[in-house]
């Protein structure tokens, strides 16, 4: 859900439907912390606005670092040549020093021009004239970053949109591998689907392990699972393996552990209200698939409130250490993860 309350997935779907039907707005402002949806809309416009034979004289793609507002406005005010419309796309528009001056064009845009202003991981100032002008005459796509606790559900919806079902553990594993970058998830999914048998309708953990190059056996997912069960031997084994991986980063590991124990804390708060929470209440508080509810039921038994708070305090301490604070230069990040894991088990 976008900050403005707009459902970014639904908005993008509707815009692309209109674009494919050759229904265009005079100005598109595509922006936000997550570039996936702005890029989708921009590519749909590039693919559908003009016929291939019209593009030589009627399509202009430029970059914010190379143009100013005057050049963009001059181009946008031209009339198309032997075509119904012309397309002007400004990529990396956050690099424009005078972006706000485009408000002058938006005050009276040409019906025969489609102007696309694409900002990468950046946003126009909503208090200023350009943003307000686009709202009046065109479309704003404001794409917020997806929070880490939302990503597994996003993956499930994304696969459903592609006519597939992905098992919750497989979605969790893919999330751990790709992070919260939606473009990376989409690219990994394309790679995965090319290698699956034709007619496949369900994606399993084994499919992700084989085709994405990540092992569930040694992942943060398995570490949090072992910690939830207070399985010391498995937890230390997984932590040691993760810590020795080439791409290991202690801050990212601590962040994942914090998310997990913060969910436990919120679940404990829900349970303390008395009664038996519904599946919907559990899903709202935990932000995970019902598949994982059993793990969290076990976790709250093993980490009552005082113990859970102590773990969160440890995570704050090791977050500082993982960023170079209060540790010797010889200390390896992987050693810190094993040390942290042992400390959690000792609480």
Domain final position from 79, 109, 142: 142
State the Cα–Cα distance between residues 239 and 335, nearest whole angstrom: 9
Q: Which of 107, 111, 112, 117 lies closest to 140, judged by CA?
A: 117
Query: Residues 126, 47: one domain?
Result: yes
Query: Does 147 map to a domain?
Result: no
Query: Does 164 map to a domain?
Result: yes
Whole-structure pTM value: 0.73
pLDDT value at position 4? 47
Query: Does 53 map to a domain?
Result: yes
| CATH code for the domain in which residue 318 is found | 1.20.272.10
| CATH code for the domain in which residue 66 is found | 3.40.50.300
Identify whether the C-beta of residue 86 lies closer than 8 Å to the C-beta of residue 114. yes
Query: Does 2 map to a domain?
Result: no
The domain in which residue 301 lies consists of: 217-346
Identify whether the C-beta of residue 78 lies closer than 8 Å to the C-beta of residue 65. no
**What are phi and psi for residue 115, nearest 5 degrees?**
-105, 125
State the Cα–Cα distance between residues 233 and 86, nearest whole angstrom: 64
Query: Residues 86, 40: one domain?
Result: yes
pLDDT value at position 224? 92
Total domain count, the chain: 3
User: For 247-250, which contacts have Cβ atoms below 8 Å and span 24 or more sequence positions?
Assistant: 248/333, 248/334, 248/337, 249/333, 250/318, 250/321, 250/322, 250/323, 250/333, 250/336, 250/337
pLDDT mean values, one per 10 residues, the chain (347 residues): 66 97 98 97 98 96 97 97 97 97 97 97 97 97 87 90 88 81 91 86 87 71 92 93 80 88 93 87 82 91 95 93 76 85 95
Query: Residues 227, 253: one domain?
Result: yes
If DSSP codes are grouped into helix, strand and coil, which group holds residue 285? helix
Domain final position from 142, 177, 199: 142
If DSSP codes are grouped into helix, strand and coil, which group holds residue 67? coil
Query: Residues 121, 55: one domain?
Result: yes
Query: Residues 179, 60: one domain?
Result: no
């Amino acid at each position: 859900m976008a900050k403005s309350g707009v459902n970014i997935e639904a908005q993008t779907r509707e815009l692309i439907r209109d674009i494919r039907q050759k229904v265009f707005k005079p100005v598109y402002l595509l922006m936000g912390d997550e570039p996936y949806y702005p890029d989708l809309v921009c590519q749909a416009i590039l693919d559908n606005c003009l016929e291939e034979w019209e593009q030589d004289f009627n399509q202009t793609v430029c970059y914010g670092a190379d143009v100013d507002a005057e050049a963009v406005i001059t181009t946008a005010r031209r009339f198309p040549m032997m075509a119904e419309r012309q397309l002007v796309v400004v990529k990396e528009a956050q690099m424009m020093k005078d972006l706000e001056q485009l408000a002058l064009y938006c005050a009276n845009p040409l019906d025969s021009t489609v102007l696309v202003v694409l900002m990468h991981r950046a946003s126009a100032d909503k208090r200023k004239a350009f943003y307000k002008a686009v709202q009046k005459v065109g479309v704003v796509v404001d794409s917020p970053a997806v929070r880490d606790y939302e990503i597994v559900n996003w993956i499930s919806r994304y696969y459903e949109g592609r006519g597939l079902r992905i098992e919750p553990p497989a979605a969790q594993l893919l999330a751990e591998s790709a992070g919260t970058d939606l473009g990376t998830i989409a690219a990994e999914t394309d790679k995965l689907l090319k290698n699956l048998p034709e007619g496949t309708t369900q994606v399993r953990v084994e499919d992700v392990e084989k085709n994405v190059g990540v092992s569930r056996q040694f992942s943060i997912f398995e570490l949090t699972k072992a910690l939830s069960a207070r399985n010391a031997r498995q937890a230390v084994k997984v932590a040691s393996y993760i810590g020795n991986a080439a791409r290991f980063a202690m801050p990212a590991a601590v962040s994942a552990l914090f998310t997990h124990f913060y969910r436990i804390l919120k679940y404990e708060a829900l349970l303390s209200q008395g009664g038996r929470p519904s599946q919907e209440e559990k899903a709202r508080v935990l932000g995970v698939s019902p598949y994982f509810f059993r793990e969290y039921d076990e976790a709250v038994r093993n980490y009552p409130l005082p113990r859970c708070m102590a773990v969160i305090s440890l995570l704050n301490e090791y977050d500082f250490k993982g960023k170079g604070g209060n540790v010797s230069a010889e200390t390896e990040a992987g050693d810190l993860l094993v040390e942290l894991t042992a400390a959690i088990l000792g609480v």
